[in-house]
Amino acid sequence: MSWYAIFVKTGKEDELCLYIKQIFEKSKVQIQLLVPKRELVEYYEGVKRLVKRTMFPGYILLKTDSIEQMYAFLSSRWHSNIYALLKSGGFFQEIPAAEIVPIINLINKDGTITSSTLFLENDKVIIKEGPLLNYTGLIRKINARKGRAKIILNFLGRECKIDIAIKCLSIIKE
């Protein structure tokens, strides 16, 4: 099965994805639809929010082994917000494996590329493994290259500065 792109109205990708799925539920044409998204942290009015944004606005990725049959079936039920199946030289333009495989490898089962945890100085963290399990502290310095952080924590009644692997930390959300 090969991947293709459908050009649609921007902002209508999810809605049209459901529409196309409904059309092909009863047909014998096997399809897989994908609207890749990415998680982003956005600040709005001073508040940090995690949002999902479409990676390729105006496109739905389609996987099928019979593109001509799929196109014929879809064109008989054309929607005004579906503009075209991408073509090149009169043929449907297949997305090369070198371009689609990295996208497939990055997304989760919901079709989203999730954001990684970002540690910043002065973030409040909790230690999630090792002998200091469940101790909390503040990050004072980060060495991203070595994957380590210097944190300050209260240990046995005094303030201690320790060097710990970032993978052992989890941010405390306030």
Q: Which residue has the higher pLDDT, 57 or 114?
A: 57
pLDDT at 57 over 90: yes
Domains and CATH numbers, the chain: 2-113 (3.30.70.940), 124-171 (2.30.30.30)
Confidence (pLDDT) at 174: 64
**What average pLDDT is seen over the chain?**
85
> What confidence category does residue 116 fall into, taking pLDDT thresholds of 50, 70 and 90?
low
φ/ψ region of 134 (left if φ > 0, alpha if ψ in -120 to 50, else beta) reads left
pLDDT at 80 over 90: no
> What confidence category does residue 167 fall into, taking pLDDT thresholds of 50, 70 and 90?
confident
Winning range, highest mean pLDDT, from 71-75, 88-92, 150-154, 156-160: 150-154
Q: Which strand (E) or helix (H) includes residue 69?
A: helix 67-75
Q: How far is CA 2 from CA 15, 70, 99, 143, in A?
A: 23, 12, 12, 43
CB 63 within 8 A of CB 31: yes
pLDDT at 29 over 80: no
Confidence (pLDDT) at 169: 87
The Cα 1–Cα 31 span in angstroms is 9
User: In sequence order, what DSSP letters do the residues of 136-160 get, joined into one string?
Assistant: EEEEEEEETTTTEEEEEEEETTEEE
Confidence (pLDDT) at 20: 86
CB 61 within 8 A of CB 115: no
pLDDT at 99 over 70: yes
Q: Could you tell me the pTM of the whole model? A: 0.63
pLDDT at 10 over 90: yes
